[in-house]
């Protein structure tokens, strides 16, 4: 019997460099608008003169990484690395 399971992203942990504006609250609200995203947690790791290094934890069910990346980049931030990923079958 063939399996019809599909794999969906349920959690990503991202290391991101962002400008001071937008705030982490506004960044989190923008990420939360991506279809499938249910929870966003952002913590500041380091602050420089013009930028902040933040850890972003995104959780949900089947959200699209490329759409998430586009939202982050449109706000002037850059993803340095994907530090953790959780994918499950549904």
Residue-level pLDDT at 2: 58
- Is 1 inside any structural domain? no
Residue 69 belongs to what domain range? 7-84
Residue-level pLDDT at 3: 63
CB distance 36 to 11 below 8 Å: no
Cβ burial of 54 (10 Å; 0-12, 13-18, 19+) is buried
Cα angle vertex 29, ends 24, 32, to 5°? 125
Greater pLDDT, 78 or 2: 78
What's the whole-model pTM score?
0.92
pLDDT at 1 exceeding the cut of 60: no
**CATH classification at residue 78:** 3.30.70.1340
How many separate domains does the chain show?
A: 1
- Is 74 inside any structural domain? yes
Cα 16 to its chain centre, rounded Å, is: 9
**What contacts 32, CB < 8 A, 6 or more positions away?**
40
Share of the chain above pLDDT 70, in %: 97
Q: How high is the mean pLDDT of the chain? A: 95
């Amino acid at each position: 019997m063939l399996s019809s399971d599909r794999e969906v992203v349920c959690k990503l942990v991202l290391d991101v460099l962002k400008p001071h504006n937008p705030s982490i609250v506004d960044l989190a609200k923008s990420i939360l608008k991506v279809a499938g995203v249910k929870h966003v947690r952002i913590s500041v790791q380091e602050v420089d003169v013009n930028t902040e290094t933040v850890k972003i934890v995104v959780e949900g069910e089947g959200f699209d990484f490329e759409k998430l990346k586009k939202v982050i980049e449109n706000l002037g931030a850059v993803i340095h690395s994907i530090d953790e990923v959780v994918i499950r079958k549904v």
